[in-house]
């Protein structure tokens, strides 16, 4: 069954209070903090067999959930969050992890956690009984509040599979069929977690982190190339390419992804800035190339993306 909840029909000043009442009745201990006059949110809930999938959307907000002290760790639900729009910072178990579009993170549902989003964001969320993932992934608790890169092939596959399931959510199928898909989704999420383990243990992981730091620092430089990144961190280009390949990506893709994410963030946070100026300041040589790559990545032109959000 598919259920859609939204603040869109309410006056802006009423939306945040309505949303907090609604969320608290569904998720014990959850609170949303946001600018009262600009808040807007939508929540789509789908019960797929024994698995619940949720698709939350909102403008900039801080979402926190207090711990349920009576719940034993072995009884906890584990919740996979796949960020499909925007960026966010998660805090849980003393860890802080920054997420960008395409990344996934696993949370312990009954423990305190906090998502801080600076702009409009959307996620696909699926809640698992802890045993479902623990049986598939040894040491599952080691992966709670750890970033699972959206560049991993398994994470990209999870994104496509979950999106396909949502497109069929309104269709009538026997419950046993949806339950089979729930099992497949559990296997795919487990493969994402295991894939992140392999990346974390790979010799090139630290090297890739250094490369991403250089890219973030020089993202506005149109002359930034994989060779320039490799030179700055002091390794041959082939070494950087091998480290990126171990994470299922390339140095060029890392640079392009970061440019597009920066541009998308500025399109929303600076509504008065022109698309051309944002393109140039995000490291694109011209606005036409930027528009093509942006539409390929986000499925909308920069101007349309800004209007939608």
Lowest mean pLDDT among 62-76, 209-223, 226-240: 62-76
**Residue 97 Cα distances to 28, 34, 103, 288, angstroms:** 23, 21, 11, 34
Is residue 32 helix, strand or coil?
Answer: strand
- Residue 115 confidence class, pLDDT cut points 50, 70, 90: very high
Q: Does domain 205-308 have CATH number 3.40.50.300?
A: no
- Residue 7 confidence class, pLDDT cut points 50, 70, 90: very high
CATH number of the domain at 2-201, please?
A: 2.60.120.10
Identify the pLDDT of residue 119.
Answer: 84
- The answer on pLDDT for 125 being more than 90 is yes
Which residue spans of the chain are classified as CATH 2.60.120.10? 2-201
Spatial neighbors of 128 by CB under 8 A, at least 6 apart, are: 51, 77, 78, 79, 80, 186, 189
Identify the pLDDT of residue 68.
Answer: 65
Identify the pLDDT of residue 199.
Answer: 64
- C-alpha angle with apex 259: 256 to 262, nearest 5 degrees? 150
Helical packing angle, 205-217 and 226-233, nearest 10°: 110
- The answer on pLDDT for 70 being more than 60 is no
- The answer on pLDDT for 72 being more than 70 is no
- The answer on pLDDT for 128 being more than 80 is yes
- Residue 177 confidence class, pLDDT cut points 50, 70, 90: confident
Which residue spans of the chain are classified as CATH 1.10.10.60? 205-308
pLDDT, mean of residues 136-154: 88
Bigger pLDDT: 215 vs 27: 215
Give the number of other CB atoms < 10 A from CB of residue 41.
Answer: 22
- Residue 198 confidence class, pLDDT cut points 50, 70, 90: low
Is residue 44 helix, strand or coil?
Answer: strand
pLDDT, mean of residues 246-267: 85
Q: Which H or E element spans position 18? A: helix 12-26
Residues of the chain with pLDDT > 70: what percent?
Answer: 94
pLDDT, mean of residues 80-97: 89
Mean pLDDT for all residues in the chain: 86
pLDDT, mean of residues 200-220: 80
Residue with tokens 């996979």: 80
Q: Report if pTM > 0.75.
A: no
Spatial neighbors of 103 by CB under 8 A, at least 6 apart, are: 82, 83, 147, 148, 149, 150, 155
- The answer on pLDDT for 81 being more than 90 is yes
CB 86 within 8 A of CB 120: yes
Best-predicted range by mean pLDDT (100-114, 190-204, 241-255): 100-114
pLDDT tens-digit map of 33-57: 998 888 999 999 888 777 888 999 9
């Amino acid at each position: 069954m598919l259920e859609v909840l939204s603040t869109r029909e309410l006056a802006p000043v009423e939306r945040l209070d309505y949303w907090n009442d609604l969320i608290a009745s569904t998720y014990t201990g959850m609170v949303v903090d946001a600018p009262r006059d600009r808040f807007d949110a939508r929540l789509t809930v789908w019960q797929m067999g024994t698995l619940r999938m949720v698709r939350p959307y909102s403008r900039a907000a801080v979402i926190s959930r207090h711990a349920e002290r009576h719940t034993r760790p072995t009884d906890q639900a584990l919740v996979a969050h796949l960020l499909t729009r925007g960026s966010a910072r998660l805090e849980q178990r003393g860890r802080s992890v920054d997420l960008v579009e395409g990344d996934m993170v696993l949370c312990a549902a009954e423990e305190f956690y906090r998502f801080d989003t600076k702009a409009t964001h959307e996620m696909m969320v699926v809640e698992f009984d802890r045993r479902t993932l623990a049986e598939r992934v040894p040491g599952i608790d080691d992966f709670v509040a750890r970033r699972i890169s959206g560049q991993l092939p398994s994470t990209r596959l999870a994104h496509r599979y979950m999106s396909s399931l949502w497109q069929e959510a309104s269709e009538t199928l026997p419950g046993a069929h949806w339950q089979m898909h729930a099992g497949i989704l559990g296997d795919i999420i487990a493969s994402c977690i295991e894939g992140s383990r392999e990346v974390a243990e790979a010799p090139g992981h630290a090297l890739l982190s250094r490369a991403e730091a250089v890219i973030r620092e020089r993202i506005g430089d149109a002359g930034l190339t994989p060779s320039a990144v490799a030179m700055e961190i002091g390794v041959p280009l082939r070494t950087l390419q091998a480290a990126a390949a171990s994470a299922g990506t390339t140095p060029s893709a890392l640079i392009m992804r970061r440019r597009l994410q920066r541009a998308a963030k500025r399109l929303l946070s600076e509504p008065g800035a022109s698309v051309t100026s944002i393109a140039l300041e995000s490291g694109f040589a011209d606005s036409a190339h930027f528009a093509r790559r942006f539409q390929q990545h986000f499925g909308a032109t920069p101007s349309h993306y800004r209007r939608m959000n």
